[in-house]
């Protein structure tokens, strides 16, 4: 069980709550967004105001695969919430030969 530093919020419960909210609001329709936009939404969802804990929670979500990270032209990153309903199909090539 992982906890945030100053609060008694469990990371897994926070993750489920955030993913449920972003899925309900269909955040995958927005393309890549800045961290500050996701920070405001996470702060609203979890009712958390501490910037250190918000950043720690966000980095946990990025490492866990909730957000996709893309480097910007300048030295910053943009993040995207992928569609959780989309099926990830790996492309496989099959060679069929008829004799």
User: In the predicted model, what is the mean pLDDT of residues 16-28?
Assistant: 91
The reported pLDDT for the residue numbered 9 is: 67
Q: Using the predicted structure, report yes or no on whether residue 11 has a pLDDT greater than 90.
A: no
C-alpha triplet 26, 32, 35: angle, nearest 5°: 95
Q: Using the predicted structure, report yes or no on whether residue 27 has a pLDDT greater than 80.
A: yes
- Other CB atoms within 10 A of residue 3 CB: 11
- Give residue 22's pLDDT band: very low, low, confident or very high (50, 70, 90): very high
Closest-CA residue to 79 (of 29, 30, 33): 33
Residue spans of the domains in the chain: they are: 11-80
Task: Report pTM.
Answer: 0.74
Q: Please, which residues bridge with residue 79 across strands?
A: 33, 69
């Amino acid at each position: 069980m992982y906890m945030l530093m100053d609060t008694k919020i469990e990371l897994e419960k926070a993750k489920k709550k955030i993913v449920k909210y972003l899925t309900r609001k269909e955040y995958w329709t927005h393309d890549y967004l800045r961290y500050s936009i996701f920070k405001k939404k996470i702060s609203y969802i979890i009712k958390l105001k501490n910037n250190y804990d918000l950043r720690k929670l966000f980095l946990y979500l990025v490492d866990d695969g909730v957000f996709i990270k893309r480097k910007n032209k300048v030295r910053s990153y943009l993040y995207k919430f992928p569609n959780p309903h989309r099926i990830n199909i790996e492309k496989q090539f099959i060679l069929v030969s008829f004799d």
